Homo-oligomer: A and B are copies of this chain.
Amino acid sequence: MTASRDYAALAQRGLSLDLTRGKPSPRQLDLSNDMLRLPESYHAADGTDARNYGDLQGLPELRELFGPLLQVPPAQVVVGGNASLALMHDTVVHALLGKVPGAERRWVEEPEITFLCPVPGYDRHFTICERLGITMVAVPMGPDGPDMDVVERLVASDPKVKGMWCVPKYSNPSGVVYSDETVRRLAAMPAAAPDFRIFWDNAYAVHHLTDTPAELADLLALCAAHGNPDRALVYGSTSKVTLAGAGVSFFGSSPANVEWFLANTRKQSIGPDKLNQLRHVEFLRDADGVAAHMRRHAELIAPKFELVDRVLTKELGGLATWTSPRGGYFISLEVPHAAEVVARAKAAGIALTPAGATHPYGEDPDDRVIRIAPTYPELDELEQAILGLTVCVRLVAEERA
């Protein structure tokens, strides 16, 4: 009965803690406060007055800075607003309402469209599909990425499969890095749909937690090498590099896809906020500047990941499994009766992402995955929250025993 006593004590404390979203902490945001006084010059490198309209694709100097980090040639990078999610959403919209290169028709004219969703995955990818009427098919993740036997079979056999979501590096929420062989198979596999696309959300490209950064194979180049040049749609952003609400986002792909994307975007906007682009160039400067800045982030958040791991090990050894990612923003905790654990935590004042959110339609068939976002709270709050969570896990285990 230890767990019920601990839970009663926990509930009495009247906590109000939040582990839901992958937000940088205020101290992380402080690292970029100098940006608030930039840009020093409103002229781009080529003399463009960045204050005025225009330059749909984005400033060359920013594309040159982030292209290599996202493994995209700078000429094939498009800079967007503050949310790469909007670039992904809008890509799907453009494909629904205007034919992607290689498509027989607009996706909205297809009787049904299916996207493959490696699980656990990112809930906001899934809500885009739900909102736009795209059927989702879950594919299990393993230590090297999605189960490629399943992926290859579905993509090769079913022309309804038009897309696949991937967070290939430090995956949300499991922290998995796709292996070279996984990336090669994604690039090389035959597809029944001529307009099949991989949405490669490289959200954590430079977000390392250790001194041995994970290396990711170059999907865009591999797709071209395997005769599928238009398959890869690459996304990234500085939301978790500089300022979460005021970053810049990136889209990169083949020349044909970029031309198609810009042709659609040209109807939507007269151009992006180039002053914010300059602000980023002046602040981050170059790849070394980005790496140094990301090390400062890691110094702030790596101890949080270590704390979670330590508390889970101490309190839940044998009762649960969890990930120890080498980068990214999340820890994936797997426990029996996850929904009940989350409900118990909520009742005790600890907010967690709803169990199931890591799966299409919010349905985790095994009811096991809980996504922990440790970056936002300070260490003492985080420790309280994770300790409280372990009490809930133990309580549910005890009650269900």
Contact A269 B86 (CB under 8 A): yes
A23 at the interface (CB under 8 A from B): yes
A276 at the interface (CB under 8 A from B): yes
Within 8 A of B (CB), among A24-78: 24, 26, 29, 32-33, 36-39, 42, 49-55
Contact with B along A133-156 (1 / 0, CB 8 A): 100000000000000000000000
Among A86, A98, A246, A276, residue most surrounded by chain B Cβ atoms (within 10 Å): A246
A267 at the interface (CB under 8 A from B): yes
Contact A270 B83 (CB under 8 A): yes
A174 at the interface (CB under 8 A from B): no
Contact B36 A36 (CB under 8 A): no
Contact with B along A229-250 (1 / 0, CB 8 A): 0000000000100011110000
> Chain B nearest CB: distance from A25 CB in Å?
9
Pick the residue among B23, B49, B81, B268 that contacts A273 (CB under 8 A). Answer: B81
A96 at the interface (CB under 8 A from B): yes
Contact B271 A245 (CB under 8 A): yes
Q: How far is the CA of A284 from the CA of B132 in the complex (A)?
A: 39
Contact A98 B245 (CB under 8 A): no
Chain B residues, Cβ within 8 Å of A83: 268-271
Chain B residues, Cβ within 8 Å of A130: 267
Pick the residue among B53, B245, B264 that contacts A21 (CB under 8 A). Answer: B53
- Known pairs A53-B244, A82-B81; A275 contacts B89 (CB<8 A): no
> Across the two chains, which residue of chain B brings its CB closest to A98?
B131
- Known pairs A36-B39, A273-B276; A52 contacts B267 (CB<8 A): no
Contact A275 B245 (CB under 8 A): yes
- Known pairs A243-B51, A274-B246; A267 contacts B98 (CB<8 A): no
A225 at the interface (CB under 8 A from B): no
Within 8 A of B (CB), among A86-113: 86, 89-90, 93, 96-98, 108
Contact A272 B82 (CB under 8 A): yes
A127 at the interface (CB under 8 A from B): yes
Within 8 A of B (CB), among A12-27: 21, 23-24, 26
> Chain B nearest CB: distance from A15 CB in Å?
21
Contact A264 B36 (CB under 8 A): no
Q: How far is the CA of A81 from the CA of B264 in the complex (A)?
A: 17
Pick the residue among B52, B82, B89, B131 that contacts A29 (CB under 8 A). Answer: B52
A85 at the interface (CB under 8 A from B): yes
Contact A273 B244 (CB under 8 A): no
Q: How far is the CA of A71 from the CA of B201 in the complex (A)?
A: 40
Chain B residues, Cβ within 8 Å of A33: 42
Contact B245 A36 (CB under 8 A): no
Contact A93 B97 (CB under 8 A): yes
Q: List 19 A-B contacts (CB under 8 A).
A: A21-B53, A32-B51, A36-B38, A36-B39, A36-B42, A51-B244, A51-B245, A52-B243, A52-B244, A53-B244, A53-B245, A82-B273, A86-B269, A90-B268, A130-B267, A243-B275, A245-B274, A246-B273, A246-B274
5 additional A-B residue pairs with CB within 8 Å, beyond A81-B82, A81-B273, A86-B268: A52-B245, A97-B97, A98-B131, A124-B267, A128-B268
